[in-house]
Structure 1
Amino acid sequence: MLQSFIVYTSLSIFMIFCGVIASNREQCNSRIGLNLSFFRSETIVPLFVFAIIFGCRYNVGVDYPHYLEGYLYGSDRNMEFLFGLVTNEMSNLGIHYALYFTLWAFVEVFLLFYTFRRQRFLFPYITFYLIFGSYYLSMMNIIRQQLAACVFLFSLQYIDSQKWVKYYLCVLLAFLFHKSALLLLFVYPIFRKEKDWFPTRKFQYLLLLIALYLSMNYNLVVKLISIPFALFTGALGYENYLEGILYNEKLNSVAQFGNNTGLGVYIQVYLSFVMIWYSKRMKAHYADSFFLIIYSLWFVRILADFVVGDSIILNRPFVYVYNLKIVMLAYFTVFCLRTKQKIPLLIACSFILIHIILFLNVLSNGEVNTSMFKFFWQI
């Protein structure tokens, strides 16, 4: 645990420090009307450091052994075109697997930060929640779909600017990493005219209550999604994912579904409730259609968190909006700090403290959740 704590905290402190510099320089340049290039040392260097450290990891992420075995020995190379092409070429050239994992980690984190290159005030907080919220684990685990999800995150700017050709080119790129990206074909039309799909707090709280009720009725959830689930798996060639797989304990945590009343559930309810409560003020503060898209997709992910719970299978379509949880936490924290009002400031502090506690809890169970950090040369 000690090594994991040192690695993660040292990395986060360095990246937060660089993020503060990037944010301050952006503010200074905006005052005099100059655009600041993203490709500066304070933005690019921390991304490379992040990628190198996670590239040199060993067995961080449940799927890490699967990716490592596929890269070294060529097993299960039936992958999407672009991911398979890079994997095969790097493997055939005998490139060390640390560089292979470094490449994917860099692509993921680069797309995450580059998407918000014009809002660098978010950088320190995105870094904090990325690591202390343990969201990095998803990036190190389901690499192929997370690559597609990061491409999707980048593509949201083209929905906002209504550049549909560029958006669908991004969808094509995402599809070359993970074929479930076909789901993204339907996102552009949804936001073409309406950006804010959850305009009122009452409507959001109603949907949240429904999601909480469904979280305690897994059989009802399966019945409701059985038809679209069959269509989805059939269209993507996952015919082996029959409805019965939704009752597989290993893949869905059926025994805990709806019965998990641990601290994590209460924390999620608290975070969601508070952010919804301030949603109208946040929308007015940022006054940006791009933010409205981010918020709408974040809220979809929050509902999914409760409805599908720990189900690996049912979570797959919502991986594409998973990273928006990091972004919205950053937006909300900045909003609270900018108000300079006592209650929002205390709430921001509570958010930060909660994630520090969760971070320590994750590390304390590092062997189980595969967050325990080891370098490949330690094996």
Structure 2
Amino acid sequence: MARVPIDVETEIDRFCNSIKQDTYTRSVDIALATVYIFKKLIGESKWSNASELIALIRSQAHRLNQGQPVDSITFNITRRILKLIREVSGRIIHGKNEGSDISLTLQAVLNDRTATSTINDDDNNNNNKTEENFQPKKQQIQSNISNSIPIINVEDEVSVQRLKPELMDDLNWYSSEIELSVKNLSQQALAHIHANELILTLGYSYTVEQFFKYASSKKRQFHVFILEHAPFFTGHKMAINLSQLNIPVTVVTDSAVFAIMARVNKIVIGTRSLLANGGLTAKSGTYNLALAAKNYNVPLLVCAPTYKFSPTYLPSFDPVMCNSFPSPENILSYESIFQSSLDIIVPMHDYVPPELVTLIIGSGMGNAPSYVYRIVSELYSAEDNDLERLQKESLR
């Protein structure tokens, strides 16, 4: 396997330390930093073909995701880059995307059936044709089918000289897509925010802030209720930022969510990760918010850029692994007389099942939660869905 250069090792360690210290304040920064590290890894490491490159990236996936849950953005970016490598390899060998292999294979089968049916009709109409005349045609058809079915595992055939330039171009394009993802998502705000609506959100989310900002810039009048998200109180930051944009805001305690739900027109929230079944992991308190919305039939809209779509299913691993547990200092100080006799658990995130979600607003358009699995299958390759297993094994 190819070795990782020392400067890339240093960059990976710096990235992991920044994650542990919560240096990144926006999820888009984590996504861009991950792409940058992989571009550096691909550009400076020594590898001879696409198979070696895939093995190299997979070997570094659990290192980059160290200290993060298995449904993290880092894993999503890793899977997407692995899919890009396979697509570029298929494009170099066959002159098309690898995803079109199945359709071409099916087309070959259909052509086989059509040709065979034509031959059988000719034999029935012309009884004087012999079996010897039929066999060459059948052999020719089978030969055409075998030639038309492309080779799917082409990674071993693509050299570094052919793969690296095209792959780096695709990675640059992917970085630009990530940078514009929040902007493209926020431009859908006018389709979901209507005049004089009361909109509820939870805590602070950069994506949701830009969503509201775009609607306000287009002179759309609305009022935002913000749950303060105790004990972290990130809702105060959201209230300050929106008020500076002249958007009317009201900060509400988390315990009052059920009382105010009857007045709310819709809920707009962000998410940390969107799972393959349409469920999501979001800030703690989101599950209670979703239950109250379901009781009052209030639509729950989730803003999720593409890099937050994860092929992970919650039942496939320990639910603790998709959560984070910070210090309970904000709830009970270490000097408290009760500290020695209590175990205090402070989960950072809730899991919200898909039946409580109304609409997923992505970078392209809104989709129902039931359609997420289709988007995930287009973004990632199925053979890369076991990255969380590698992380589990590394922790043993």
Q: Above 0.5 in TM-score?
A: no
Could you tell me the TM-score, scaled by structure 1's length?
0.25
Query: Which one has a bigger Cα radius of gyration?
Result: 2
Q: Which structure is richer in relative contact order (CA contacts within 8 A, separation 6 or more)?
A: 1
Question: Relative to total residues, which structure has the larger helix share, 1 or 2?
Answer: 1
